[in-house]
Structure 1
Amino acid sequence: MLGTVRDRTLEAVLKYGDKAKYVIKVAIEISEENENKELGDFSYKQLIEKFNELNINYDPRMVLRALEKDYGIIQTTYKSSNQHWWKFIDIEQTKQVVFEENIEEEEPEISLIIIQYNSLSVKEIEKKLMFYLKKPKLNDIDKRIFSNLAFDLLPKIVELYNRASQMEETYEIAENLRKIISLARRVSMRISNEKDHGKGFHKEEVEREDYNANSLRLSNSENNF
């Protein structure tokens, strides 16, 4: 998971909107009211009860799952057949987001970097580049696909890297992008080396053929003499 808890909370709220804000705010309120946190900061049952008090008719299961699995904002601390408790990873950082106004306008560049990074499918690109590095021999289709990546996608990755590397909040994104750039360079070097090797092999074969032809002519001349 990328960024700080604050960054991830911001991203979750940007994606799920008021639903995420309501769930997080109510969970924080419950956490602050709970004197005994042996099982966790809040439970699913407590959330539903608080929602009913506020006349909010909403099942928070989907948002809770996303907050835990996708964004790492909360963590399960206890679960049984009839209870589910969570704790906040960093409740203070989460508060900074959900109790601020106009969070969409607060740090738009950071949000944009995160959104663009998530749209790149970086893991798939990394997997493809590693495949090219490990494959015994690259064929013409492989080289064509890599060329498209180098000219169409890689400039966007470099541009995003340059922006992400300027901010502490997106440092981890920058590091992941730099890894992609490094892998792409290694693939390009491999393709270049294979071309050079092929040319050298061809030149060697031509020189060998010329030598054999000259030897044959010399041999014939000696016989004629």
Structure 2
Amino acid sequence: MSPSSVYDRVRAFLDKYGDKGFLVLKAALEVAGDPNVDHRYGDFSFKHLVLKLARLGFNYNPVNLLRSLEKEYGVVEKSYTSSNQTWWRFIDVEAVKSAVYGGAGEPDDPKLALLKLKYESLEPARVRSTLLKLASKPSLSSVDKELFRGIVFNELTKLVELYYEMSNYEEYFAAQLSEVRELLRLAELVSAKMSKDKMLGESKLRLEETLRAFGLHDNT
């Protein structure tokens, strides 16, 4: 099966299912490229796909679209099935990437080209990696908090400004718009962690003040 035929079938799938189809394929490709996922059984599993979609803010059961991708379009094939998990493999992952991420082609409009350059210059993948590391930490150090503030007031602020400009060309910038929304969700997780750390610190301080008032010492 030639890459071009897979490409054409993916484009046909996207034409039919629109944003929903795009997000399912994007999520599946991200799982397939995630080095933290054990891919011995295939490129992506149903469980990993659903979790990835949820992280993208898309609470959706993709079973019907997966069936269509497999049976109707021949883009994926089942690679492993057991009582508690099902895995799929892309027939040609590079052709799928080309159709999903490159389907709109390079912009002829200089304004679109400039928006794309601005977006890429902010290194959203690096921002995402940093936010993921911060969100996964049990607590944040003062250095972590300063790093987070820098991201919020610099890269993230500029990305949100670009978001509103790119939203006028949603068909072309669908992947970028989705990525900005994911970055904001990650930032909210880090912010919540900072608030929790602050509350714990204030609670401990009040306890120490109370113990000192009674002439006691906090040995915890």
TM range, smaller chain: 0.3 to 0.5
TM-score with structure 1 length normalisation?
A: 0.47
The TM-score normalised by the length of structure 2 is: 0.48
Query: Which protein has the bigger helix share?
Result: 1
Tell which structure's C-alpha radius of gyration is larger: 1
